[in-house]
Chains A and B, each alone.
Chain A
Amino acid sequence: MSINNGHFSRSVSIIGCGYTPLGDVLKTPEMLGMTERELFAWAAIEAMEDANIEAKDIDAFYFGQVGPNLFANQCASSGGIGEWIGMRGKPSISHDEACSTFNMGLQLAVQAVASGVYDVVLAGTSNAAQSHFPLGYPPHLREKNPDFMFELESLVDDAAYCLPGNNMFSILDGGAVSYAQTYNVSFEDLRKAMNQAAIIARWNAVHNPKATYSKQTYEEEAKSKGFATVEDYFNSPFNPPIAVVQHLFHSTLICDGGGAVIVCPTDKAKDYTKYPVEIIGMGESSMIGNHVFGTPFEIDRLAFERAYRMANIHDPYTEIDYMSIHDCSAQHYFTTTEAGGYFKPGEGWKAVLEGRIAHDGDKPVNTSGGRLSAGHTLSGPGGVEFTEAVGQMRGINGDRQMPRPPKVCVVQGYGGGWNSNVVVLKRSF
């Protein structure tokens, strides 16, 4: 399938980014009582301060939110939420690409700047999807959602021909089963690799101050619950199976939060910051991805291929220093990284098992703690992921900092099987 996905009419760079704490507006002290509006404003203001600009300097913004009617009783959300960041009257778009929402908003912002329509654009998201408020009530009067809200078939499939009982767990587990079949790996070995991915993700999250849910590493948590080893803990009833390969600890941690990134033309970026990050490639694919199964997912393969062609990346294994992937299931650490060529086909699971994806490994992945352990805001984790990648390039990520700041990073988002989205970043300082 060929499409025109050639080049930017002018180069675009990230000049600022930020995100909120990742937690629960019903429980987490620093975000208690907040709505989607405060979360978006928090992230956007943080990104503006990072870019040393104010709202008046921004030409347009894109606001993403997963299921605005489902979770926030709101249509055309960007029109109202612009007022919360001082952008009344500015151009805006509301959009929803499930868990790839943030990543898509950034691509739209980059396209707007690259085309010359605007100079400075903000892309941001927020969701507080663990709770909702009844129609006719203000949005701070929230009630916790039942868990099934995150397993609605319409989040992962066309409601017209909705598959019976299909949900994210089963779709992604199907990817792991296909991987086992394609590369002749046992379920048990894959499960061990997924355990290791979860352990590393948790370590990263514990060392990310904004990941409010993760207070203990899995080793510490195992000990506190009386287990001799972390393996015993993973094999215990605390970690029940939820699919063929996947167990509970291999699954995403849903949270509330927001994120934002600001972009401008590369030739103006250093007017704002000493540390701009150039966007050298973008690729996207959309389909009912869950119907086109196998390993890697076709939707991911297409998105990576398009982004790499634009970025002139020929050998991702050697040319990419850091990869961020959508990780709502631990199997993504080998399936999606392989789709992106970060690991050779069939070798990703071993690389994960060997710990090479840790922040100080030779192939770091998702050093923020990821959607697996830092938290998954549905629309917003892209904000975490771009901030993390930019932070790694700047060398400011504290205990999670890679020993050598990366030169080229890739950030991928995967939205419910609908949208796969890849952005290639290059350090320009």
Chain B
Amino acid sequence: MKPMEAYVKKWYEALDNGKLMGMKCNRCGAYEFPPVPVCNNCSSTDLEWAEMSGFGEMVSFDFSFQLTPNFAPYQSTYHAMVKLDEGPTMISWLVGVEPGKFDELFEKLPLKVKMEVQKREKYSYPVFRIVE
């Protein structure tokens, strides 16, 4: 087998450097994001690291009035449900939208979004921003 890598560590370290890394399957071409060592589409273990475009379509969203304590300082409460251009789906914060704009957002779905890296105290994390 291929040597096992520290996927989680490597993903977060790439984020620290502003890069959104996934895995591309060399057998079927499917992407895994965030990274895992086996393709969930065709079962191949022949995957390689690939930088994601960061673009995707927000197909739905939700909103939390109350965040868990470890995320409370960040004060963002929308979650964007996004189908990335490369195929995988992802949920993360939607930044740059005022709270309470539910109907307005809903009427505009699907919306083009782009991932960007948000720096935190000890690590970085991808969030989404509307681009149109």
Report whether over half of chain B's contact residues are helix, strand or loop; otherwise say mixed: mixed
Q: B81 to A293, Cβ gap below 8 A?
A: yes
Kindly state whether residue A361 has any CB partner on chain B within 8 Å. no
In the complex, what residues of B have CB within 8 A of residue A291's CB?
A: 89-91
Q: A294 to B66, Cβ gap below 8 A?
A: no
Interface residues on A, range: 20 to 34
Q: B62 to A164, Cβ gap below 8 A?
A: no
Kindly state whether residue A171 has any CB partner on chain B within 8 Å. yes
In the complex, what residues of A have CB within 8 A of residue B102's CB?
A: 187, 244
Contact with B along A171-205 (1 / 0, CB 8 A): 10110011011000001000000000000000000
In the complex, what residues of B have CB within 8 A of residue A178's CB?
A: 59-60, 81
Bound CA span A180–B62, Å: 12
Q: A174 to B79, Cβ gap below 8 A?
A: yes
Q: A181 to B109, Cβ gap below 8 A?
A: yes
In the complex, what residues of A have CB within 8 A of residue B79's CB?
A: 163, 165-166, 170, 174
Q: B60 to A181, Cβ gap below 8 A?
A: yes
Nearest neighbor of B11 in chain A, beta-carbon distance: A161
Bound CA span A192–B76, Å: 28
Report whether over half of chain A's contact residues are helix, strand or loop; otherwise say mixed: helix
In the complex, what residues of B have CB within 8 A of residue A294's CB?
A: 59-60
In the complex, what residues of B have CB within 8 A of residue A241's CB?
A: 65
Q: B11 to A243, Cβ gap below 8 A?
A: no
Question: B123 to nearest A CB, angstroms?
Answer: 11
Nearest neighbor of B82 in chain A, beta-carbon distance: A293
In the complex, what residues of B have CB within 8 A of residue A244's CB?
A: 61-63, 102
Kindly state whether residue A292 has any CB partner on chain B within 8 Å. yes
The 3 tightest CB contacts between A and B, nearest first, are: A165-B71, A174-B62, A165-B67
Chain A residues close to B by CB (< 8 Å): 148, 151-153, 160-161, 163-167, 169-171, 173-174, 177-178, 180-181, 187, 240-244, 290-294
A sample of 28 inter-chain contacts (CB < 8 A) reads A152-B68, A153-B68, A153-B70, A160-B8, A163-B91, A164-B125, A164-B127, A165-B71, A165-B79, A166-B91, A167-B68, A169-B64, A170-B64, A171-B91, A174-B60, A174-B79, A177-B60, A178-B60, A181-B60, A181-B109, A242-B64, A242-B66, A243-B62, A291-B91, A292-B89, A293-B81, A293-B91, A294-B59
